[in-house]
Structure 1
Amino acid sequence: MTLRAVTLAAFAALISAAPATAAPATAFSDLPGWAQENHAAALAAFRGSCGVAAEPQMARVCGLAKAAGPLAEAEARRFFEDNFRLDAAAGSGTLTAYFAPEYEARRAPQGEFTAPVRPKPADLADAGPYADRTAIEARPATDALAWMKPEELFLLQVQGSGTLRFPDGRRLKALYAATNGRPYLAIGGPMRSQGLLPGEVSADSIRAWLATHRGPQAQAVMQLNPRYAFFKLAPDDGRPPSGSAHVPLPAGRAIAIDTAFHAMGELLWIDADRPVLPGAKPTYRRLALSLDTGAAIRGPVRADLYLGEGEAAGDEAGRVHHRLRLYRLTPR
């Protein structure tokens, strides 16, 4: 898949905020957080994923990194500073985050497990819009791969992939297979404007409201988003999920970007501050690789940071909605 090909705006992208602007750095030493970065860990992530880059100069630097092998902190920092120059993207934008969730599932409809995990339809073409969410959900699910709670299936579609856990202890990965080609609409804004969430609008509050109002009311809200994702199931091999670049996503070091402005395998410095949501970390400043895409990730200064798998990653991801300054590391 693309872990993020579905919406790929993690839970935090269910809401919106207008970023402010800030003056860009002009050298590595000027980057907020550069001195505190774990350059050795960043180089390890770069060495493991840089092969997806098609640009010849990046391929050359990738070869140097692989030949050098693991480096100590000071040497790793020097590697980046010697082999790259810093190019700031104009303006500021938004950083959100996503993760690979784990949900309970059933083999057949049972109790609150009423939402089918649908495979890619045989009549779904590679281009052009397909039926919208409302029409798809009205169809019989005779070929369902599994059954989930409706709000959790919706959020799985937002994330793009995850792990399903069955009562017998078996675990299967739900992997992105396709979408219906419809535009993605974040439901947080409409829920706020309709007064459904009078307090904080966050991933947790959206999920809680959908669960509490499970049935026609929640279904009507979820159907505001016409985009629908289809899945395929595979054994849980314990490996991290893969993104659009078809390599495992290193947690905390991979971002989804807009390919109209960034190439797969680019090395970027994210400088994110001014969180919108309570309980969020104040800053995210680190090196990351563009290894994924997302329907809601649009613009030159827009990124979605992959934080890993499981509940803790999900809790953190749901609070990430920060003002972003983005820098490309261009090979010298």
Structure 2
Amino acid sequence: MRPVRAVLPAALLAGLILAACATPGEPPGGPPPAAPRPPPQAPTEPPTPAPPRRLALAELPGWEAEDHLAAFQAWRRTCHAARTDALRAACARAAIREPRTGPEARAFLEANFEALPLPAEGVLTAYFAPVYEARRTRDAEFSAPVRPRPADLLPGAGPYAERTEIEARPPTDALAWMRPEELFFLQIQGSGVLTFEDGSRMKALYAANNGRPFVGVANAMRERGLLPPDGASGEAIRLWLAANRGPAADEIMRLNPRYAFFRLAPDDGKPPVGAAGVPLPAGRAIAVDPAFNTYGEVFWLDAEAPLLAGAFPAYRRMVTALDTGGAIKGQVRADLYLGEGPAAGAEAGRVRHVLRMYRLVPR
């Protein structure tokens, strides 16, 4: 007798055949339909940073120790240089009720201004109005000509000849003769007073420059080991140039291709006039980059951490933007005018401090 085998139903047998033909891991009948993709999302914009908080003047670092009357008086003498209606209005209020004491000046300033911090940190340097000896005729010591603006130096014509080429030209139109290193510093400062052998004095006033970029020589002198890392002050540079007068000093000075031309005028005893057309109050005026800051604006300087030996540890004071300079670039960048003569020059040459700036805006 043959054994009896179970007979599977046809539907079940068909299902087993399909399962055997399916790809491992897939359910019978093939993969399931793909899930719909979510619609693409637009990239999210980074959040806009909140504007800096305006501060009361009493919150400024060093405000308590400021000479408020001196700060007010310097601003009052120059506030007519303001370019905005709000600053002009503050200037007019100062003329109506002018403070006479420190507390009165402080109260006026705190009632009329608040402080807006500028972003990041920058650099504070300083400049001065030098007084240098000069001669009417050339000699071995006074061998550098003070040159007037050349007739072929036309406004807007682009860069003019570099320092080396200009110095090679015959100085037939020299206005005066100076020691080479002192003329170099006169060109950096932009103006000064010349004293002649007969006791007369003339102002050397900036007339033009050759349109070449300003290049400081301090870094090159440090890199060459001519000056120590913290000893490249303006006075140290001038003394080195004087001690090495001739080819060695000429090589260093020619690293700066910028060349300034001058005109002479009688010395009236008044401070130099800045780019804003206003006489510069010593210690209370700064040169700024006009691409970022406007002449007549008022600022608070908070500068510390000097890089040069012998410098004052900090400069915290109220100043007005009244000038500019070829090396002054950027929003948080200021060059503090310190006055006239050797003492101002010695101090100015040691100023290279980390700077934070606050714009003082009318309330």
TM-score (norm 2): 0.83
Matched with 1:142 is 172
Matched with 1:210 is 241
- The amino acid of 1:246's aligned partner reads G
Q: After superposition, where does 1:90-105 map in structure 2 within 5 Å?
A: 90-105=119-134
Aligned-partner Cα distance in 2 for 1:230–1:185 = 17
For the pair 1:64 / 2:93, whether they are aligned, the reply is yes
Matched with 1:245 is 276
For the pair 1:82 / 2:111, whether they are aligned, the reply is yes
Task: Find 1:318's aligned residue among 330, 346, 349.
Answer: 349
Matched with 1:19 is none
For the pair 1:284 / 2:322, whether they are aligned, the reply is no
Alpha-carbon contact 2:135-2:176 (below 8 Å) kept: yes
Aligned-partner Cα distance in 1 for 2:53–2:85 = 27
Alpha-carbon contact 1:93-1:325 (below 8 Å) kept: yes
Task: Find 1:262's aligned residue among 269, 289, 293.
Answer: 293
Q: Secondary structure at the match of 1:49?
A: helix
Q: How far did residue 194 of structure 1 move?
A: 2.1
Matched with 1:129 is 159
Aligned-partner Cα distance in 2 for 1:201–1:42 = 31
Tell me how many residue pairs correspond in the alignment: 310
Gaps of 5+ in 1: 1-22
Assess, with a 3 A threshold, how the Cα gap between structure 1 residues 53 and 146 changes in structure 2: closer, same or farther.
same
Matched with 1:190 is 220
Q: How far did residue 205 of structure 1 move?
A: 1.9
Alpha-carbon contact 1:99-1:317 (below 8 Å) kept: yes
Alpha-carbon contact 2:58-2:110 (below 8 Å) kept: no
Assess, with a 3 A threshold, how the Cα gap between structure 1 residues 135 and 24 changes in structure 2: closer, same or farther.
farther
Aligned-partner Cα distance in 1 for 2:292–2:94 = 25
Aligned-partner Cα distance in 2 for 1:289–1:282 = 22
For the pair 1:152 / 2:182, whether they are aligned, the reply is yes
Aligned-partner Cα distance in 2 for 1:256–1:78 = 27
Matched with 1:29 is 58
Aligned-partner Cα distance in 1 for 2:304–2:280 = 23
Structure 1 stretches of 4+ with a deviation exceeding 4 A read: none
Aligned-partner Cα distance in 2 for 1:235–1:184 = 28
Q: Secondary structure at the match of 1:66?
A: helix
TM-score (norm 1): 0.91
Q: How far did residue 81 of structure 1 move?
A: 1.1
The Cα offsets for residues 234-254 of structure 1, whole Å up to 9 and x where unpaired, read as: 101000111101110000100
Q: How far did residue 30 of structure 1 move?
A: 2.0
Aligned-partner Cα distance in 1 for 2:216–2:346 = 19
Alpha-carbon contact 2:218-2:237 (below 8 Å) kept: yes
Q: After superposition, where does 1:269-308 map in structure 2 within 5 Å?
A: 269-308=300-339
Aligned-partner Cα distance in 2 for 1:130–1:328 = 36
The Cα offsets for residues 20-54 of structure 1, whole Å up to 9 and x where unpaired, read as: xxx99833222121011111111111111011111
Gaps of 5+ in 2: 1-51
For the pair 1:108 / 2:137, whether they are aligned, the reply is yes
Assess, with a 3 A threshold, how the Cα gap between structure 1 residues 47 and 198 changes in structure 2: closer, same or farther.
closer
Which has the higher Rg, Structure 1 or Structure 2? 2
Matched with 1:120 is 149
Q: Secondary structure at the match of 1:35?
A: helix
Matched with 1:20 is none
Aligned-partner Cα distance in 1 for 2:58–2:362 = 17
Task: Find 1:181's aligned residue among 180, 195, 211.
Answer: 211
Aligned-partner Cα distance in 2 for 1:323–1:57 = 30
Q: Secondary structure at the match of 1:95?
A: strand
Alpha-carbon contact 2:124-2:333 (below 8 Å) kept: yes
- The amino acid of 2:83's aligned partner reads A
Q: Secondary structure at the match of 1:86?
A: strand
Alpha-carbon contact 1:244-1:293 (below 8 Å) kept: yes
- The amino acid of 2:217's aligned partner reads I
